[in-house]
Each structure stands twice: as C-alpha cells, then as structure tokens.
C-alpha cells in the first residue's frame, strides 16, 4: 500500500499515474503514431508488399553512410517540394532519422502529415536499425554490423514483446 508520504518522496510517483482509461487512450494513440525497428524490419522481410513505404529524412551524407534497403531518401527540408513526386498519398509512410536523440523523423512526419499523408515515425531510427543487426545499404554495398546485445536480445528474433 502506498502512503501519501511515500508518494511525495518517490520521484517516479511525484505525479500520480493517469487513470487506467486515460492511460489506455494515450498508449493506443502512441501506437498509431509510432512503429518500432523490429516490426518495420519484419514487415519488410516478409517478402510481400508491407503496406507502407519507408522514408529516410536525413542528409545525403548520412544516407550514403547507410540506409534501410528500399527506403526513399527525402530530407525533411525537401518534403514540401518533392513529396508528391516520390510518394503516393494512398500508401502510409514510416519516417526515420538518425536515432532516439534526434527529432528529424518527427519533423518529417509532421511535414508529411500536413501534406495529407498517413504517417508513423520509426522509434530508434537508423541507429537502432543498425544496432539490432538488420542489413543496411551504403552507396557501395549492403552490410550489417553484429547485434548490440544491449539493444537486441542475442539469439532471438525480437524481445518477445
């Protein structure tokens, strides 16, 4: 049982958790806006049409260092002038940028949503795509790096969540 004194001393519970119905609505909405690296990789590897297109919103230099195979390169600043030439509004878009410390995918998702695209942001970005051992392309070839055991469970297809 939690006491009022324990709650105020505990930084996690300094602000009480939302009511269950409010929390469920928030987390349901979060899933409508986000996809994770493992789910995107699984859908792309299924062999068929995944039902979405992946957009890399980073610079050309970053794209050349490595990008998700099959992704479309569309830097955020160019979305207003190039999105309609590269993307079909009837196909959902999944944006990514470098990683969790970067909000470039969020800005790209916002720009696309404002143009009328259905869009999700890929959590973790290219950093976690590479760290989880998924194959990526450079301007020279396809490659991957060993799985980072702190990011992805070793010997498992996913974390089981």
| pLDDT tens, position by position, 44-81 | 999 889 999 999 999 999 999 999 999 999 999 999 99
- In the chain, the percentage of residues whose pLDDT exceeds 70 is 89
Query: Total domain count for the chain?
Result: 1
Q: What is the pLDDT of residues 78-93, one digit of tens each?
A: 999 999 999 999 999 9
**Integer Cα distance of 34 and 118 in angstroms:** 12
Cα 27 → chain centroid:
16
Would residue 161 count as lying in a domain? Answer: no
| Residue 130 in tokens | 């590479």
For residue 113, what are the contacts with CB-CB under 8 A and spacing of at least 6? 119
Integer angstrom CA distances of residue 50 from 2, 46, 65, 92: 46, 7, 25, 10
Would residue 97 count as lying in a domain? Answer: yes
Mean pLDDT of the chain: 90
Domain that holds residue 93: 34-143
* pLDDT(15) > 70: yes
Q: Which CATH number covers residue 134? A: 3.40.250.10
Would residue 17 count as lying in a domain? Answer: no
* pLDDT(1) > 80: no
Give the per-residue pLDDT at 146: 78
Tell me which H or E stretch contains 21. Answer: helix 20-33
């Amino acid at each position: 049982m939690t006491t009022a004194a324990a709650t105020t001393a505990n930084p996690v519970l300094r602000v009480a958790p939302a009511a269950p119905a409010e929390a469920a609505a928030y987390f349901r909405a979060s899933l409508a806006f986000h996809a994770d690296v493992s789910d995107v990789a699984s859908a792309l590897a299924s062999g068929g049409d995944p039902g979405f297109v992946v957009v890399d919103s980073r610079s050309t230099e970053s794209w050349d260092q490595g990008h998700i195979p099959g992704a479309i390169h569309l830097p955020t600043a160019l979305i207003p002038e190039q999105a309609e030439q590269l993307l079909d509004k009837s196909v959902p878009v999944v944006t990514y940028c470098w990683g969790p410390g970067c909000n470039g995918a969020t800005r790209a998702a916002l720009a696309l949503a404002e143009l009328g695209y259905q869009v999700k942001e890929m959590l973790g970005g290219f950093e976690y795509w590479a760290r989880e051992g998924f194959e990526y392309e450079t301007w020279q070839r396809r490659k991957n790096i060993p799985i980072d055991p702190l990011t992805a469970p070793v010997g498992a297809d996913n974390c089981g969540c």
